[in-house]
Structure 1
Amino acid sequence: MQRMRIRARLRALYHGGSRQAVRFRIAVLAIDMAIIAFFIAAPFLKAEGWVFYALDYAIAALLAADLAARALAYSDLKDWIKRPIVWVDLFILATLLFPAWLFNLGFLRVLRLWTLVNSEFFWKTVGHRYDDTRVEDVTRSAVALVVFVFVVTGFVYTGFIGRYEGIGGYVDALYFTITSLTTTGYGDIILPGVWGRLVSIAVMLGGVGLFFNLIQTLTRPHKVFHACPTCGLQRHDPDAVHCKACGEQLCIPDDGR
């Protein structure tokens, strides 16, 4: 009985529409942003020794508590554990719990930013005014590009520092990532060997693809999400009266945005 009350309370806080629930979710998101800031600053903080490890384990405790609470608040635990975002968070938790062994994979923690911006939890709380709008589409595309840059930078930093004189620090890895992504390629930093060339190719192809996706999101006509009752087509022009796929009459609500 006590467990059922706890689950009902957590479900109301994580998924409810009350003022208290909204405040709770905003507080959770504020903690998430602080965690992301720590992840980005981690390569510079590791030199601080015990301070870094104290912050690392404190954030691990917060993330573990949040994951446990979300699991209890979810109606179907088996369905919850199958979600890719949950697996990303579990992996991030592992890097926090075992920093001495998994710190080289710590750059993947920035994926937490991607999971945050791609969660309905975020758009129903902080971004509720822009849910299902162009702002949401642009934000998702921009964050995908930013996360790609930081993940690649972390990979280059951990994989090539000390093995190649051109990568002497995190800024050098970031510089290489940006110049490769933009296909500028000044030639002052070139990763050696076959693996270096493969990394450079992956950065150029992936980065250019994400960059053009962002440009496309900024320039293409905005579509609203409204499922057609007949064919199920979900994206329509904001002023659409009929479905372009099947001709069914639509009644898209105008929320004043």
Structure 2
Amino acid sequence: MQADTSEPTENPIRRQLRLLYHGHDAYAVRFQIGVVAIDFLILAFFIATPLLRETPAFIWLDYSVAVLLALDMAGRLFGSTDIPRHFLQLTFWLDLFILLTLLFPEELGNLGFLRIMRLWSLSKSGFFWRLMGEYGRGAWRETGHSVVNLITFLFVATGFIYTFFFRNGAGFAGYVDALYFTVATVTTTGFGDITLEGTGGKLVSIVTMFVGITLFVRLAQALFRPHKVFFQCPRCALQRHDPDAVHCKACGHVLKIPDEGG
């Protein structure tokens, strides 16, 4: 009796999710645009959380965002071509932590400022930049990463400073004070009208200045460095090349780089 050597049939739900999250046809692109739009709405909620926390509708908004995030995480997980590898990615565990802060807003409320790390997670997943590549905007990828890193740090630092130093001035005024102090410190302007008290406050200010200056330098490098396109060489896997490159500068392999403007 001959053994059955045929490959097992792929789960249709997984196949459909993979097509939606990684496909290039018009339907998949519309779905991906919708996912990105929802992601930005979730990020807006995260940024506004300190202002909304005391409102009656906050808990319902919090749990609604938790459902959306859980669905998106499940879709990305089961649509992945390598689920075990997906579990090992830092972005997955970061999203899982953010989901826990949404499910337990009272117990993990003081860590809510870390939710804005979702923006960094999205920028590292490649999902957004792949979608931008569909519209010929891949050239901005490196600059975009630098901008995302800076914005993420600004709001994480603002959330941390608001939670641990400005909570007594709860609401919009306290959050604005925290944001104002963060921007003044990161830019090394240092007006001095708002300061953090105690040794802990001085240490937070020092760390904020050092990290902020580093991120500004990275952004300047991305803006003024000669433009490179992202295209993986089939032979040596080098990813950054000159826009008009015909051969890979590392191994000499002939490249066929798509026209991003086409």
DSSP 3-state at the match of 1:47 = coil
List runs of 5+ in structure 1 lacking aligned partners.
none
Relative to structure 1, is the Cα distance of residues 243 and 127 closer, same or farther in structure 2, using a 3 angstrom cutoff? closer
Relative to structure 1, is the Cα distance of residues 64 and 249 closer, same or farther in structure 2, using a 3 angstrom cutoff? closer
Kept in 2, the 8 Å contact 1:108–1:151? The answer is: yes
What is residue 31 of structure 2 aligned with on the other side? 24
Q: Is 1:87 matched up with 2:93?
A: yes
Q: 115-124 vs 67-76, which deviates more? A: 115-124
Q: Distance in 2 between matches of 1:32 and 1:137?
A: 20
Kept in 1, the 8 Å contact 2:248–2:255? The answer is: no
List runs of 5+ in structure 2 lacking aligned partners.
1-7
Give, in angstroms, the shift of residue 76 of structure 1.
Answer: 2.2
Q: Distance in 2 between matches of 1:105 and 1:61?
A: 19
Percent pairwise identity: 52
Give, in angstroms, the shift of residue 130 of structure 1.
Answer: 3.9
Q: Distance in 2 between matches of 1:228 and 1:186?
A: 49
Q: Distance in 2 between matches of 1:130 and 1:208?
A: 31
Instruction: Deviation per CA, 1:75-103: give whole Å up to 9, x if none.
Output: 22211111111111111100100001112
Q: Is 1:211 matched up with 2:216?
A: yes
Kept in 2, the 8 Å contact 1:243–1:249? The answer is: yes
What is residue 255 of structure 1 aligned with on the other side? 259
Give, in angstroms, the shift of residue 254 of structure 1.
Answer: 4.7
Give, in angstroms, the shift of residue 216 of structure 1.
Answer: 1.0
Q: 1:154 aligns with which of 142, 153, 159?
A: 159
Amino acid in structure 2 at the alignment position of 1:18: D
Q: Is 1:185 matched up with 2:174?
A: no
Q: Distance in 1 between matches of 2:75 and 2:235?
A: 38
Kept in 2, the 8 Å contact 1:123–1:130? The answer is: no
Q: 135-144 vs 186-195, which deviates more? A: 186-195
Q: Is 1:62 matched up with 2:72?
A: no
Q: How does 1:218-237 map to 2 (within 5 A)?
A: 218-228=223-233, 231-237=236-242
Structure 2 length normalisation: TM-score? 0.87
Kept in 2, the 8 Å contact 1:130–1:136? The answer is: no
Higher relative contact order (CA 8 A, sep 6+): 2
Q: 151-160 vs 188-197, which deviates more? A: 188-197
Relative to structure 1, is the Cα distance of residues 253 and 77 closer, same or farther in structure 2, using a 3 angstrom cutoff? closer
Instruction: Deviation per CA, 1:6-58: give whole Å up to 9, x if none.
Output: 11111111112222111111111111111111111111111212x00001001
Q: 26-35 vs 109-118, which deviates more? A: 109-118
Runs of 4 or more consecutive aligned structure 1 residues displaced over 6 Å after TM superposition: none
Give, in angstroms, the shift of residue 241 of structure 1.
Answer: 4.2
Instruction: Deviation per CA, 1:87-141: give whole Å up to 9, x if none.
Output: 11111100100001112111111111222233221122255324541x1211111
What is residue 5 of structure 1 aligned with on the other side? 12
What is residue 21 of structure 2 aligned with on the other side? 14
Structure 1 length normalisation: TM-score? 0.89
Relative to structure 1, is the Cα distance of residues 11 and 178 closer, same or farther in structure 2, using a 3 angstrom cutoff? same
Q: 1:104 aligns with which of 101, 104, 110?
A: 110
Kept in 1, the 8 Å contact 2:136–2:260? The answer is: no
Q: Distance in 2 between matches of 1:101 and 1:107?
A: 14
Q: Is 1:75 matched up with 2:88?
A: no
What is residue 3 of structure 2 aligned with on the other side? none
Instruction: Deviation per CA, 1:184-219: give whole Å up to 9, x if none.
Output: 111222222222121111111100010111111111
Amino acid in structure 2 at the alignment position of 1:169: G
